[in-house]
């Protein structure tokens, strides 16, 4: 069924799922994970040297060592989950795919000449049971959110609007230093289809310039405000260096989830939208939002993965 583009604020709906295990489903070793570990160098000591007496470590020994590493990481994550009031420990994402999925525009989201323009999508093609957390605009600058996401080692991607970010560029610099990729959500969060081509280009390219100036890298991802765009939007974005336009399949708030898919459920590769918002806009804080999203994601057996690893 076609998903209709709409404003970011939509009708309420709560997702429900059966409780997940939350244990070493988050750390259980699969043959693929073990093979990845061995191929990536875990067949030698962790400092990169050969094993005792100059011998390469055997695969069985490497697997035991890798299992120990995974258990230690999971124990640390479980402790962090408890500190932040999570009922279940977030599941660990699988290794990044060696071959990136091919991105195409979702059916029903095309514009004229789409084949030559950046793809627009709400989920990433993958069989991995992962979702991707994205956070928009930049209004709330909650230090607790940075601490929580760092403590839990949860990846997320930011889409920033300058009219809000400029109040404290340093907050997002700290975020970037923790590995978060900062992307384009326009200068002023305007309804882009209501602007001329040149007006749209100023909004998009202007934010590209701002992010490059403030954070040292020109973004490749762009999300139009409210998820609304037309052909001029994508044409302008392409001229500004944009490679892809991720939208979203569900949205997280401080006290509930909302769904844009007909079955009101998660699917492998879904993109989850949320915002830099606090009590002025929500019934809770950004850490409350993270707890709400993770409650649904973990209970349904999904892990939060890094979007850029799949693009």
CB crowding 23-58: b at 16 or more within 10 Å, else e:
eeebbeeeeebbebbbeeebbbeeeeeeeeeeeebe
pLDDT averaged over every residue in the chain: 86
Range in 57-71, 89-103, 236-250 the model is least confident about: 57-71
Question: pLDDT-based confidence at 47, cuts 50/70/90?
Answer: very low
pLDDT at 24: 36
pLDDT at 55: 55
Cβ pair 297, 131 in contact under 8 A = yes
Distance CA(25)–CA(19), nearest Å, equals 13
Mean pLDDT of 25-47: 41
Structure tokens at 8: 């970011």
Range in 3-17, 24-38, 244-258 the model is least confident about: 3-17
Strands 270-275 and 250-252: parallel
**Is pLDDT above 60 for 137?**
yes
- Count of residues for the chain? 311
**Is pLDDT above 60 for 51?**
no
**Is pLDDT above 80 for 20?**
no
**Is pLDDT above 60 for 245?**
yes
Distance CA(116)–CA(112), nearest Å, equals 9
Structure tokens at 242: 């944009």
Half-sphere exposure of 272 (CA within 13 A, CB side): 30
Other CB atoms within 10 A of residue 75 CB: 12
Nearest to 240 by CA among 186, 166, 179: 186
Cβ pair 307, 157 in contact under 8 A = yes
Of residues 11 and 307, the one with the higher pLDDT is 307
pLDDT at 56: 59
pLDDT digits (tens, 9 = 90+) for 188-215: 999 999 999 999 999 999 999 999 999 9
The CA-based diameter of the chain, rounded to the nearest angstrom, is 70
Range in 11-15, 119-123, 132-136 the model is least confident about: 11-15
pLDDT digits (tens, 9 = 90+) for 87-133: 999 999 999 999 999 999 999 999 999 999 999 999 999 999 999 99
Distance CA(226)–CA(216), nearest Å, equals 27
Structure tokens at 129: 């049971």
Range in 20-24, 51-55, 144-148, 235-239 the model is least confident about: 20-24
**Is pLDDT above 50 for 147?**
yes
Cut 0.85: pTM above it: no
């Amino acid at each position: 069924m076609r998903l209709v583009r709409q404003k970011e604020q939509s009708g309420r709906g709560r997702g429900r799922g059966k409780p997940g295990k939350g244990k070493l489903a988050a750390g259980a070793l699969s043959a693929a994970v073990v093979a990845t570990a061995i191929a990536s160098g875990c067949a030698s000591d962790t400092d990169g040297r050969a094993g005792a007496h100059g011998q390469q470590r055997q695969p069985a020994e490497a697997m035991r060592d890798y299992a120990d590493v995974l258990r230690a990481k999971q124990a640390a994550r479980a402790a962090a989950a408890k500190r932040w009031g999570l009922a279940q420990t977030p599941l660990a994402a699988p290794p990044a795919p060696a071959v990136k999925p091919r991105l195409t525009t979702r059916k029903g989201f095309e514009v004229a000449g789409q084949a030559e323009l950046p793809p627009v999508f709400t989920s990433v093609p993958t069989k991995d049971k992962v979702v991707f957390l994205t956070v928009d605009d930049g209004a709330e600058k909650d230090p607790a959110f940075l601490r929580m996401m760092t403590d839990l080692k949860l990846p997320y991607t930011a889409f920033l609007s300058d009219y809000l970010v400029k109040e404290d560029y340093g907050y997002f610099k700290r975020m970037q230093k923790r590995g978060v990729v900062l992307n384009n959500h326009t200068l002023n969060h305007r309804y882009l289809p209501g602007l001329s081509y040149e007006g749209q280009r100023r909004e998009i390219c202007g934010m590209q310039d701002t992010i490059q100036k403030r954070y040292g890298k020109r973004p490749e991802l762009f999300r139009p405000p409210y998820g609304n765009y037309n052909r001029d939007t994508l044409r302008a974005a392409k001229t500004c260096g944009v490679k892809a336009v991720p939208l979203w399949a569900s949205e997280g708030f401080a006290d509930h989830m909302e769904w844009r898919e007909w079955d009101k459920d998660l699917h492998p590769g879904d993109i989850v939208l949320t915002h830099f918002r606090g009590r002025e806009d929500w019934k809770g804080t950004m850490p409350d939002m993270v707890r709400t999203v993770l409650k649904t994601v973990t209970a349904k057996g999904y892990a939060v993965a890094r979007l850029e690893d799949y693009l």
